[in-house]
Amino acid sequence: MSTNETPKPLPASDEAWWRNAVVYEIAAISFQDSNGDGQGDLPGLLQRIDYLNWLGVGAVWLTPIYRSPNRDFGYDIADFCAVDPRFGTQEDFDEVVRALHDSGIRIILDLVPNHTSDEHAWFTESRASRSNPKADWYLWAEAGPNGGPPNNWLSRFGGSGWEWCEERRQFYYHSFLPSQPDLNWRNREVREAMASTMRFWLDRGVDGFRVDASAVLIKDDLLRDNPPDPEADDKTPPPQANMPVFTDDRPEAMDCIEYIRGVLDEYDGRLLCGEVQGKTDRIGHFYGNSKPRLNLPLNFALLDTEWNAISLQATIDAYFNAIPKGAWPDFVIGGHDKHRVASKLGQAQARILAMLLMTIRGTPFLFAGDEIGSEQVPIPAEQVRDPFERLVKGFDLGRDPERAPLRWDDTEAGGFTTGEPWLPLSGDRARNIEAQQRDGKSLLNLYRELIALRRREPCLLHGEYRPRRAQNDVFSFERSLGETEILVGLNLSGEPRLFEWQGNGLILLSSGLDRGPGKVDGPIHLKPNEGVIVKVTR
């Protein structure tokens, strides 16, 4: 195939492919560097596709690789239809798509419809005057009565969400950095322009999008002030002092998501997942009612729950009760702006989480490094890159610790680069992919076995979820499909526990280090931090 030929999409199937896939998020800048500049790039990702194939993931979600001044991890986009030179070229991207598809792996791109960089040509034109063709493409407003901002809306990165523009003698709104002006999704031309960017990538074989900040696409057209949060105190980060009633999760935002979904549905077999705000009980409406919205509103409940059997059963039950009948669930355990879960749970319980993630009903999402138990990397103050940490200090909001480059081996630069890494790598040199690939009992090999088991057992992919009562620190559930029944028992304590069930079965897999597959009769004496998957025999 010529390198100038547009990559072909993988064929669509009768069943939505994402129901069977494990989705693996990659921040290209932290995955693999190919040229020694200390930043990961697309040629580096190309070098590691064999690893993705070995692990068994079904899809890669790639954080933004678009042209950007990179003030916010590439989410400040200056050109939606160009690859940033620090990541490579359009040809490099096309080659990544081809190589992934040749391995049977789909690719999902981040779609950032809420805002652009202030260096985007659209904003340059919009800010030039109040009469130019793109004057209404962003959220502009007159100054308030005192000459200050139009209302009390806050930026998530601290301070007012309004920035003065001398050229227009008006304020523009930014949900994030002042260099990230929000687009006006009430403008039909804005929607059509964003649709064109989507088609650009879909025509190049991209298998779907993860919509960034999907709940904030529309703000109140009356510019009403947000009310103070009555529960805010001195431990509340300043950007969260008000309740975002008039800026987040507006009913009109659902129309925007429906529009985006409509564009995606022009193409067969494409996925739309998205970052949604709010509590679990609000997640259901992001799936859609009369019109479809997101295929998968991303669910971070496993990251937010207290890690004990009683809390876990309540969290999972609340989630399944919140999604509409027939909707497909998903579970996310990591991300580029989520603290590393292994730092919260510890390495022993990270194995339990892996078993839960790969056996519960729904599509699993993990972030590169979760499969080896990567933890938060301490970042010296002088090396902090994240604007959130620099602007809102003292609240543990910095995202650099989870964005540190992936450690492939135990060398100083971890096999990630031959240069100086853009962020420090973990000081735990022993926790690396190469070492864990060699160790048959490592967390990495447990993930690989679990992913392979999902593929072998249709019950784990498609079976119904049936909760069981959590008792004595053991969280357990059943999966059933036709005559097949699989039990999962997870010991969430560091002490031995009894997994109560009656009958005969085959242990398909244990998260423990010294229990292999084989026949078993219930109940099972679980070792500390052990989980088991049992296929019931009649």
Written as six digits, the tokens of 479 are 């999966």
Q: How far apart are CA 505 and CA 476, in angstroms?
A: 15
Give dist(CA 74, CA 85) in Å, integer.
12
- Among residues 96, 27, 20, which one has the least CA distance to residue 62? 27
The answer to whether the beta carbons of residues 161 and 176 sit under 8 Å apart is no
Distance separating alpha carbons of residues 371 and 366, to the nearest angstrom: 8
Query: Which region holds residue 479: left if phi is over 0, alpha if psi is between -120 and 50, else beta?
Result: beta
Q: What angle do CA 345, 348, 351 make, to 5 degrees?
A: 90
Q: Which long-range contacts (CB under 8 A, 24 or more apart) does 436-442 make?
A: 436/372, 437/54, 441/513, 442/372
The structure tokens listed for 38 are 């200390």
Please name the helix (run of DSSP H) or strand (run of DSSP E) that holds residue 239, with its range, or none: none
Q: CA distances (Å), 53 to each of 57, 103, 253, 408, 440, in order?
A: 7, 6, 37, 16, 17
> CA-based angle 349:525:454, to the nearest 5?
55
Strand partners, 249: none
Q: How far apart are CA 345 and CA 358, in angstroms?
A: 17
d(CA 243, CA 163): 21
One-letter identity of residue 33:
D
Which candidate, 50, 79, 51, 53, places its Cα nearest to that of 64? 79
Residue whose C-alpha is closest to residue 92's, from 123, 55, 62, 118: 62
Q: In this structure, are residues 34 and 43 in contact, taking their beta carbons and an 8 Å threshold?
A: yes
Answer yes or no: 229 catalytic. Answer: no
> Active-site residue 386, yes or no?
no
Of 94, 212, 389, 485, which is the active-site residue? 212
Dist CA 505 CA 519 (whole Å)? 6
Are 92 and 7 within 8 A, CB to CB?
Answer: no
Task: Give the tokens for residue 488.
Answer: 């999962």
Distance, CA of 31 to CA of 407 (rounded, Å): 9
Quick one: how far is CA 139 from the chain centroid?
A: 27
Task: Check 102, 203, 265, 266 and give the catalytic one.
Answer: 266
Q: What is the rounded CA–CA span in Å between residue 299 and residue 289?
A: 19
Give the integer Cα–Cα distance in Å for 116 and 80: 9
**Cβ–Cβ < 8 Å for 312, 319:** no
Alpha helices in 3-48 (DSSP H): 42-47
Alpha helices (H) in 218-338, listed in sequence order: 251-264, 301-304, 309-322
- Both structure tokens of 480: 């059933």
Catalytically annotated residues: 212, 266
